[in-house]
Structure 1
Amino acid sequence: MPSLLITRPLPEKVVAAAEARFDVTLRSENTPLSKAEMTAALAEYDAVLPTLGDAFSADVYPDEVRCRILANFGVGFNHIDVAAARAAGLEVTNTPGAVTDATADIAMTLILMTCRRAGEGERMVRAGKWPGWNPTQLLGMHVSGKTLGVVGMGRIGKAIALRAQAGFGMRVVFHNRSKVAEAGVEAEQLERLEDVMAAADVVVLAVPATPQTHHLIDAAALSAMRPESYLVNIARGDIVDEAALIAALQKGEIAGAGLDVYEFEPKVPEALRAMENVTLLPHLGTSALEVREQMGLMAVDNLIAFFDGKPVPNPVCPPLGSDTI
């Protein structure tokens, strides 16, 4: 029976499924693996089921690598140096699909909370500072009928666009690095990122974290937005130059922001925490029991297929043995 390290506590259903097929070691801590722990895991286990924060960089690999697969819990795998894993002969998988709807729901949550100033209102009530209803209190932006700009029209981007258009009658424009033949909704693909930033009342980021998307939203991109527009990030924190975002908010260059992820997570700058026009969530994108169970079971399915000698259902690109760049 192959040995498996699960790096964080997972839902009971997932652990039970893993234990049915593997000799499981379940780490009890909810913190990322240390460098020493990662090196030891690669030397001591046949497989590792890591997740966000477990930074499997090129310098953690021991001279003798026993591990044969990293079955990532999550769709994003920017914490794993895939090239280094490939060089060591490891397969790398992830869990796309299971996270799509839940992440899109959080995007809509952030859009509504930020544009309608719900976070401000909730804090006011909790602090005992609500003086009662009045006609000009906490006037926000009416979302219905506005223009949504989606940066990254993949599974999640399409799911957000569908919710925005079907539920709120929003016009959708988007930017994607390749041509999107079918967006799933009536939407206009714009060639330049700046055009989407300028056209949208709300910009939602739904691109993966890659070297190419690091600081994709920088000072120049933010300057293309209008003073009455909002930025929402449900992707990965380092897609946004956080210092540039803080500057844009402080200068009033954009109206507000809704964030579920942060550049140096879990560190959130005091400047962001102090702003009333910024909604801050603790990376809740997939935080629903059914979703986390689906993610975990998908990771286990990847592991089972691998050790049964079958193609894994969800290899990260490029698959093991491919020379695709």
Structure 2
Amino acid sequence: MSREEWLQYCKNTDTILNVGGNKFDQEFFEQCPNVKAIALFSVGFDHVDIKEATKRNIPIGNTPDVLSRATSDVAFLLMQSVSRRASFYFQKVKDGNWGILIRFYELGQELYGKTLGVFGLGRIGFEMAEKCKKAFGMNIIYHNRNHNEEAEKELDAKYVSFDELIEQSDVLSIHANFKPEQSNLFNASVFEKNEKECHFCEYSKRWFL
């Protein structure tokens, strides 16, 4: 339904269980003065004007931790897919293109003992770092607004500057809320700071790490 229709429904309600990205901004609270509580079917609450809700004594509930493990599972899966070129091989199998194995290039790279850099070491970032530490013995570095003492104690994680994070990471895992001011944070000039050693394979005529 349109926002106008949604607001019409909300005007006559006392509580709202919200599923989706509906915005609870100042306009919402002004047009729906009867609302006394809002429960979010989500971890994040960026779409809620918390200051406005607090001023009106309206409690806001969310669901922290409910998807931390599941989300980190997907990040862990994607990391392995990239490192071992899983999508590449899956497509080759689908296409019936078995061909000859170009050893160095097509084997991908190991993750054992590599350095995982986490941008945004919160609940999900911690779960991701823990998986990488236990599965591959990866070294953990991170950049956060604040130090994560739990991660430093349990995972031997090291807090670094943003530039150090980019320069030292073999794998970079981003677990931060998107903000407009961060839209160009990870650009070409940033990744140029990470100059890992590459080799040229004469057989395949390609570069690999």
TM-score range, shorter chain: 0.7 to 0.9
Give the deviation of 1:82 after TM superposition. 2.5
Provide the alpha-carbon RMSD of the alignment: 2.7
Distance 2:13 2:191 in 1: 45
Alignment of 1:237-256 (within 5 A): none
Indicate the residue corresponding to 1:71 in structure 2.
Answer: 39
Give the deviation of 1:34 after TM superposition. 3.2
Match of 2:175 among 206, 220, 229: 206
Matched, 1:44 2:17: no
Match of 1:163 among 117, 131, 134: 131
- Supply the AA of the counterpart residue of 2:163: E
Match of 2:68 among 81, 85, 100: 100
Distance 2:86 2:100 in 1: 15
Distance 1:64 1:105 in 2: 39
SS in structure 2 at match of 1:159: helix
SS in structure 1 at match of 2:16: strand
Bigger RCO of structures 1 and 2 (CA < 8 A, at least 6 apart): 1
Matched, 1:135 2:109: no
Distance 2:98 2:4 in 1: 51
Alignment of 1:1-325 (within 5 A): 34-131=2-99, 133=101, 135-136=103-104, 138-183=106-151, 184-190=154-160, 192-209=161-178, 214-215=182-183, 217-219=185-187, 221-226=190-195
Give the deviation of 1:93 after TM superposition. 1.7
Q: With structure 2 as the length reference, what TM-score do the two structures score? A: 0.79
Is the CA contact 1:52–1:77 (under 8 Å) kept in the aligned structure 2?
A: no
- Supply the AA of the counterpart residue of 1:96: P
Is the CA contact 2:7–2:32 (under 8 Å) kept in the aligned structure 1?
A: no
Distance 1:49 1:224 in 2: 45
Call closer, same or farther: CA 1:79–1:132 in 2, change over 3 Å. farther
Is the CA contact 2:15–2:35 (under 8 Å) kept in the aligned structure 1?
A: yes
Distance 2:124 2:184 in 1: 18
Give the deviation of 1:81 after TM superposition. 2.9
Distance 1:39 1:89 in 2: 20
Is the CA contact 1:43–1:62 (under 8 Å) kept in the aligned structure 2?
A: no
Is the CA contact 2:166–2:194 (under 8 Å) kept in the aligned structure 1?
A: yes
Is the CA contact 1:78–1:210 (under 8 Å) kept in the aligned structure 2?
A: no
Give the deviation of 1:79 after TM superposition. 2.5
If you compute each CA radius of gyration, which structure gives the higher value, 1 or 2? 2
Give the deviation of 1:179 after TM superposition. 2.1
SS in structure 1 at match of 2:142: strand
Distance 1:207 1:173 in 2: 15
Identity in percent: 28
Distance 1:182 1:125 in 2: 43
Call closer, same or farther: CA 1:154–1:48 in 2, change over 3 Å. same
Give the deviation of 1:97 after TM superposition. 1.5
Q: With structure 1 as the length reference, what TM-score do the two structures score? A: 0.53
Distance 1:123 1:103 in 2: 25
Is the CA contact 1:78–1:209 (under 8 Å) kept in the aligned structure 2?
A: no
SS in structure 2 at match of 1:172: strand
Give the deviation of 1:64 after TM superposition. 4.1
